[in-house]
Amino acid sequence: MQEDRRIRAFQPSDLVRLHEIRTEAYEPIFAAFRKIVGNVIADIAITSAEKSQAMYLDKICAKGSDRDVFVVERQGMIIGFYSLGLDHEIKVGEIDLNAVDPAYQAGGIGTAMYEDALARMKAAGMKVANVATGADDSHAPARRAYEKAGFGPVLPCVYLYKKL
């Protein structure tokens, strides 16, 4: 229900909860990546990606970051977050790192976050919005939420790995 949900600006005291949500929400994605690339590559590339993502969350939540971070609360508990980048020179807004607590996924929270982000972009004078996500099965729910919020067309992107 929308009436018991609110989206507000990040506060430093939120960071621990955002890390919990990020870890839980991305665990199946990183597990899928491990299956796709195999253990030899995953032990190097995917493990470092998990650590990098955690450090990136710290960076975008730090004072002076070029990203704005917003959290979704339901009955006082944080259940999701998104980060927003605005390029005022070219008028492009980007939804960056974002996640919904798995216990609340498929309940419209992602769509609400993306609609909120799009409204903030419009208010800031952005002309185009973008978001990046994976093309694998583990990202299918995210793609559906982005499409539900009106995102498209899709620009395909491929990552290739080779053990050296």
Three-state DSSP string of 122-135: HHCCCCEEEECCCC
Mean pLDDT of 51-71: 96
* pLDDT over 80 at 24, yes or no: yes
CB 93 within 8 A of CB 121: yes
| pLDDT above 90 as % of the chain | 60
Question: What are the Cα distances from residue 11, in Å, to 27, 54, 136, 159, 164?
Answer: 24, 17, 33, 34, 42
Summary mean pLDDT of the chain: 91
Confidence of residue 30 (pLDDT cuts 50, 70, 90): confident
* pLDDT over 90 at 66, yes or no: yes
* pLDDT over 50 at 115, yes or no: yes
Helix or strand (DSSP H, E) at 99: strand 92-100
Confidence of residue 49 (pLDDT cuts 50, 70, 90): confident
Q: Report which of 19, 82, 80, 24 is spatially closest to residue 53, judged by C-alpha positions.
A: 19
Question: What tens digit of pLDDT does each residue of 90-108 get?
Answer: 999 999 999 999 999 888 8
What is the predicted pLDDT for the residue at 152?
Answer: 86
Query: So what CATH class is 2-148?
Result: alpha beta
Confidence of residue 120 (pLDDT cuts 50, 70, 90): very high
pTM of the predicted protein model: 0.90
> Domain coordinates of the chain in residue numbers?
2-148
